[in-house]
A and B are shown apart, each in its own frame.
Chain A
Amino acid sequence: MIYADNAATTALSEHALEKMMPYLKETYGNPSSTYLFGQKAKEAIETSREAIAKVFCAKPSEITFTSCGSEADNQAVITAARLGLRSGKKHIISTKIEHHAVLNTLKELEKEGFKITLLDVDESGIVNPENIRDSICDDTCLVSVMYANNEIGTIQPIEKIGAICHERNVLFHTDAVQAAGHLKIDVNNENIDLLSLSAHKFHGPKGIGALYAKNGIELSSVIFGGAQERGKRAGTENVAAIVGMAAALKESCDNLDAYTKKLIPLRDKLIGELKKISGSKLNGDENLRLPGNVNFSFKGVEGEELLLLLDKEGISASSGAACASGSLAPSHVLKAIGCPDDMIRGALRLTIDSDITEKDIEYIAETVRTVITKLRH
Chain B
Amino acid sequence: MKALIAMSGGVDSSVAALLMKNEGYECTGCTMKLYENDTVCNYKKATCCSLKDVEDARNVAYRLSMPYYVFNFTGDFKEKIIDKFIDCYEKGITPNPCIDCNRYMKFEKLYERAVLMDCDVIVTGHYAIVEEKDGEYFLKKSVDTSKDQSYVLYSLTQEQLKHTRFPLGSLTKAEVRKIADENGFINAAKPDSQDICFVPDGDYSASIEKLSGKKYLPGDFVLKDGTVIGKHKGIIHYTIGQRKGLGIAAEHPYYVVSIDAEKNTVTLGDNEDLFTTTFYVKHLNWISGKAPAGEFRCNAKIRYRHTEKPASAFLIGEDTLKVVFDEPQRAVTPGQSAVLYDNDYVLGGGEIVSEP
Contacts and interface: CB of A to CB of B under 8 A. Distances in A.
Interface of A: 304-305, 308-309, 312, 323-329, 345, 375
A183 to B, nearest CB: 32
Chain B residues touching A, range:
10 to 19
Contact of A304 (B51, B58, B71): B71
Contacts of A304: 71-72
Contacts of A375: 116
Contacts of B69: 308, 326
Residue picked from A305, A325, A328, A329, most chain B C-beta under 10 Å: A325
Nearest to B75: A345
A312 B33 contact: no
Residue among A312, A327, A345 with max Cβ neighbours from chain B (10 Å): A327
Contact of B70 (A309, A325, A345): A325
Nearest to A345: B75
Given A305-B113, A305-B116, A312-B117, A328 B51 contact: no
B287 to A, nearest CB: 29
A329 B54 CA distance: 15
Contacts of B117: 308, 312
Contacts of B54: 325-326
B51 A324 contact: yes
Interface string B108-133: 00000100111000000000000000
Contacts of B113: 305, 308
A326 B58 contact: yes
B33 A327 contact: yes
Interface in B69-89: 69-72, 75
A325 B70 CA distance: 7
Given A325-B70, A327-B71, A308 B116 contact: yes
Interface string B7-28: 0000000000000000000000
Nearest to A324: B51
Contacts of B51: 324-325
A309 B33 contact: no
Contacts of A325: 31, 33, 49, 51, 54, 70
A325 to B, nearest CB: 4
A324 B37 CA distance: 12
Contacts, number: 31
A104 to B, nearest CB: 14
A375 B113 CA distance: 11
Nearest to A374: B116
A326 B116 contact: no
Nearest to A309: B116
Given A325-B33, A326-B58, 7 more contacts: A304-B71, A305-B113, A305-B116, A308-B113, A308-B116, A309-B116, A327-B72
A324 B117 CA distance: 23
A375 B116 CA distance: 9
Contacts of B70: 325-327
14 contacts: A304-B71, A305-B113, A305-B116, A308-B113, A308-B116, A309-B116, A325-B49, A325-B70, A326-B54, A326-B58, A326-B69, A326-B70, A327-B33, A329-B72
Contacts of A308: 69, 113, 116-117
A153 to B, nearest CB: 23
A324 B38 CA distance: 14
In the A-B complex, the 7 residue pairs with the smallest Cβ-Cβ separation, listed nearest first, are A327-B70, A327-B72, A325-B54, A326-B70, A327-B33, A328-B72, A325-B70
A349 to B, nearest CB: 16
A129 B98 CA distance: 51
Contacts of B33: 325, 327
Interface in B55-110: 58, 69-72, 75
A297 to B, nearest CB: 16
B33 to A, nearest CB: 4
Chain A CB within 10 Å — which of B72, B75, B113, B117 has the most? B72
A323 B58 CA distance: 15
Nearest to B54: A325
Nearest to B28: A308
A305 B69 CA distance: 11
B206 to A, nearest CB: 25
Contacts of B72: 304, 323, 327-329
Contacts of A305: 113, 116
Contacts of A323: 72
Contacts of A329: 72
Nearest to A328: B72
Interface in B208-243: none
A345 B54 CA distance: 22
Nearest to B68: A326
Contacts of A309: 116
A304 B76 CA distance: 14
A288 to B, nearest CB: 30
B297 to A, nearest CB: 44
A309 B116 CA distance: 7
Contacts of A324: 51
Contacts of B75: 345
A42 to B, nearest CB: 38
A245 B27 CA distance: 39
A345 B33 CA distance: 15
A329 B73 CA distance: 10
